[in-house]
Amino acid sequence: MPELPTGPTAPPAPLASPAPATPPTPPIPLTGLLAREELGLRRIAGPEEAELLWVHTSEMADPYPYLLGGELLLSAGVLLTDPDTYVSRLVEAGAAALGFGVRPVHDTVPAELIAACERYGLPLIEVPPETPFTAIARAVWQLMAQARVRELRRVTRAQQALATAAARTDPVPAVLHQLAAQLEGRAVLLTADGEELHAAGRTPAPDVRAALARLSRVVAPVVRPAPASATDTLGTTHLAAYALGGGQGLVLTLATKRREAGDHTIAGVAVVLLSLLAAPHQGADAAGRSAALVRLLLGADPAAVAPLLGGAERWTVVHARRGGGDPVDPLTAGALGAALGSALVDAGRGGAAVRVLVPGEDRITPQPGWTLGASAPAAITALDTADAQAARALGRAEATRTPLAVDAPVTRLAALVPREAAEAHARALLAPLTEPLAETLRCWLSLHGSWDRTATALRVHRNTVRQRIGRCAVLLGADLDDMDVRTELWFALRQG
């Protein structure tokens, strides 16, 4: 710290105090103030770029103790005796710029003051005699008010855009994409282990990605105590990390080329939305579900475990795939489960269908962006059969390009035959067929003998379907073009 001037004007050393908070208005650029032609201000030394947080007028020889930082200090130099020390103290206090009024004390800005401002990098503004200091202060407050309005409008537009994104078919990726667009940067959702779940915006350089991963660990829930957010810079890139609420162990990271007023508020809105979207569906109690699954794995009676899964007597199995075959992450699968009213979701991997176990017998409804296949409601002891039904229904939905197909239970004429007799007849009739052949025949008959649709439903080549159906005809010794044969086979296959 430079030595304080001695003599009667030397103030006492300032007491240490905590750094004050910035004002609730965004800073304004010095260039914006200089552009006000009615003020007649002119920069004569120091850099052009500076941000103003306050305006303060002082004629003290050393105003250091009364500055908060970020001020445009206005002075006529009444007690200016040592320009070098004066400027160094202003810079040390964090002043943003110095406005020097000429006349009545000084006819011109002292050359020593100009040199000192150049040396210390403090913007020096010449204030003409016809411009009152109060006019400058009023102009700064006006610019701040305008900046505040712009910030509020920007935040409002961003909130509306993020809320709209949260209502889309893929809410989590949509919110991240909108956040990256609003901040003109990169938005990434990470697990506590650093795995990327979703990302949006231009891919940053490897060093930026590494810096974001390090910053995410600062707010990750595994760190105790962990802050809710953290910021950093890497060169000219601004970095930020936010922990999502709800105990999901997820972190939102941001990389932007600039940091503007309102960015933190916009990011906060996205954090709230993502926390809600990523939160587990509050159906059956999580501990109860875990206990139920453990007991099932250990061989407990499914009927005895059912109360822990929510107490439903009947369950519907739903198989689902994204439109276009897009991959599905656990968050997106969980959102589907929540839409269907269940937290019992298997996200599937490697192209496998998402599976949802829905309690009750409520009708399953189509979901935007998904193709669904649903079983008939079944007891918990018959979930394996319901799972097969849902898989067949999904295949039929994909083959017929419908958003939802339901595998209906055996009813109408088939219900007139005693079940034991029907099952015995089916076993005898279908005995020559292996399970893959029987499933292919079942699918082919359900799609009215369409080779292409059956291939789509079974995810095999149409020639494979032809070969399997031909093999079925040989093993059964039947003409599959005969409607009576098809009807009898369909009746038998429906018993499975």
Beta strands in 276-351 (DSSP E): 314-322, 345-346
Among 13-27, 56-70, 164-178, the range of highest mean pLDDT: 56-70
Side-chain half-sphere CA neighbours of 397 within 13 A: 27
Tell whether 301 and 265 lie within a shared domain.
no
Taking residues 428-456, report their average pLDDT.
84
- Residue 349 maps to a domain: yes
* 492: CB partners within 8 A, 6+ apart: 422, 425, 426, 429, 430
- Give pLDDT tens digits for 104-140: 899 999 999 999 999 999 999 999 999 999 999 999 9
Taking residues 298-326, report their average pLDDT.
76
Tell whether 83 and 179 lie within a shared domain.
no
Say what the pLDDT of residue 9 is: 40
Distances (CA, A) of 103 to 43, 115, 263: 17, 20, 43
DSSP letter string, 190-213:
EETT--EEEEESSPPPHHHHHHHH
Query: Minimum mean pLDDT among 99-113, 198-212, 296-310, 398-412: which range?
Result: 296-310
- Residue 58 maps to a domain: yes
Tell whether 331 and 422 lie within a shared domain.
no
Question: H-type helices in 447-493, by residue range?
Answer: 451-458, 462-476, 483-493
Q: Beta partners for 74?
A: 57, 99
Range of the domain at 476: 413-493
Say what the pLDDT of residue 39 is: 95
Domains identified in the chain, total number: 4
- Give pLDDT tens digits for 242-282: 988 755 678 899 999 888 878 888 998 998 888 888 765 44
Residue 71: in which H helix or E strand, if any? Answer: strand 71-75
- The length of the chain in residues reads 496
- Residue 115 maps to a domain: yes
Tell whether 130 and 179 lie within a shared domain.
no
Q: Which of 347, 382, 407 is the last residue of a domain?
A: 407
- Residue 385 maps to a domain: yes
Say what the pLDDT of residue 47 is: 94
CATH number at residue 52: 3.40.1390.20
Per-residue DSSP letter, 75:
E
In 3-state terms, what secondary structure has residue 36?
Answer: coil
Say what the pLDDT of residue 16 is: 37
Query: Minimum mean pLDDT among 109-123, 140-154, 212-226: which range?
Result: 212-226
- Cα(29)–Cα(450) distance, integer angstroms: 70
Taking residues 86-108, report their average pLDDT.
94
Place of tokens 């018993």: 495
Is-contact 151 26, C-beta < 8 A? Answer: yes
- Residue 52 maps to a domain: yes
Q: What is the value of pTM for the model shown?
A: 0.58
In the predicted structure, residue 15 carries a pLDDT above the cut 80: no
CATH number at residue 178: 3.30.450.30
- Residue 1 maps to a domain: no
- Residue 469 maps to a domain: yes
Is-contact 253 216, C-beta < 8 A? Answer: yes
